[in-house]
Amino acid sequence: MVHALMCVGATNEPHSAELGAVAIAKDMLDAFYLLLALVFFAGCWVFTKACDRL
């Protein structure tokens, strides 16, 4: 979704420079940071279970 919006110049980066491979790389950055956060929160649940078993 973010990539699609970037391509119409809707997000923060000037769209003309963001097309093609650069835009895909930026998309992957969004995925990277979102995934990182989700992995962290999943880790929090594992940590909760570990604390419960302590």
Partner 1 sequence: MVEREAAGLGLELPSELVSALCPTGSLSRSMTPLGAFNIAIFFLAILALTKPLGLYMTRVFEGQRTFLHPLLRPLEKLLYRLCGVREDTEQRWTEYAASLIAFSVASFVLVYVIQRLQGLLPLNPMHFGSAQAPSNATRVTPDLAFNTAASFVTNTNWQSYGGENTFSYLVQMAALTVQNFASAAAGVAASVALIRGLARRQANTLGCFWVDLVRSTLYLFLPLSLAAALFLCWQGVIQNFKPYTTVKTLEGITQTIAQGPVASQEAIKIVGTNGGGFFNTNSAHPFENPTPLTNFVEMLMIFVIPAGLTYQFGRMVGDTRQGWALFAAMSVLFLIGAFICYGAEQSGNPELAQLGVDTHATALQPGGNMEGKEVRFGIAASALFAVVTTDASCGAVNSMHDSYTPIGGLIPLFNMQLGEVVFGGVGAGLKGMLLFAILAVFVAGLMVGRTPEYIGKKIEQKEVKLCMLALIIMAANVLVFTAISSVAGFQKNGYWNPPGPAVANVNNPGPHGFSEILYAYTSTNANNGSAFAGLNANTPWYNLTLGVAILVGRFLFIIPMLGVAGSLAAKKRIPATSGTLPTHGALFVGLLIGTVMIVGALTYFPALSLGPLVEHFLMLEGKLFAALRAPVWG
Q: Which chain residues interact with partner 1 by CB under 8 A?
A: 2, 5, 9-15, 26, 29-30, 32-34, 36-38, 40-41, 44-45, 47-49, 51-52, 54
Instruction: Please identify, using beta-carbon distances, which residue of 19 and 48 lies nearer to partner 1.
Output: 48
Instruction: Please identify, using beta-carbon distances, which residue of 20 and 35 lies nearer to partner 1.
Output: 35
Instruction: Please identify, using beta-carbon distances, which residue of 20 and 41 lies nearer to partner 1.
Output: 41
CB 39 within 8 A of CB 50: no
